[in-house]
Amino acid sequence: MYQFVLPCILTVFCTVFFKLFGWHDFNFSGMFFFLHGINPLLVLAMFLFATKLELTDKKDYVKRIFISPAMVMAYLLFDYIRFLITGNLVYGLISAESLTFVKAAAIGLVYYGSMAFMSYGLLDLKLYIQKKTEEKLYANKNR
């Protein structure tokens, strides 16, 4: 479950930096802005340190990488459908006036690829930390 949520929530975390550095003006303010900055770090910490990941084989590993961006893609599809109905995007990262179906599809493919790549990195980091933690526990147990 964490692997589904992590790319989605870290994407929101990155938008906080867009706002902080003045690259884009999102509708973040007050506690909403704070939660977008702190919650992703908490979820990342839980994923890395408080969960145990069981992989059955290399196919399971690859499947997890390509399935994990599913939540983000579902949200983007929801946002695009909402845009078609209302004419507005939730975060407004792209100007609504220039968004066409072809651009939306291209953005979706690029975004999916980047989220899969992020998932690959996070999965490897998780497995590395899990391996090191287990080695340390095993070493302490055998003392």
pLDDT of residue 125: 87
Q: Which domain holds residue 79?
A: 2-141
Asked if residue 118 lies in contact with residue 9, where contact means CB atoms within 8 angstroms, the answer is no
Q: How far apart are the first and last CA of the chain?
A: 35
* pTM for the predicted model, two decimal places: 0.68
Q: Number of structural domains, the chain?
A: 1
Three-state secondary-structure class, residue 55: coil
Q: How confident is the model at residue 67 (pLDDT cuts 50, 70, 90)?
A: confident
Averaged pLDDT score across all residues of the chain: 78
What token pair was written down for 21? Answer: 């550095």
pLDDT of residue 71: 79
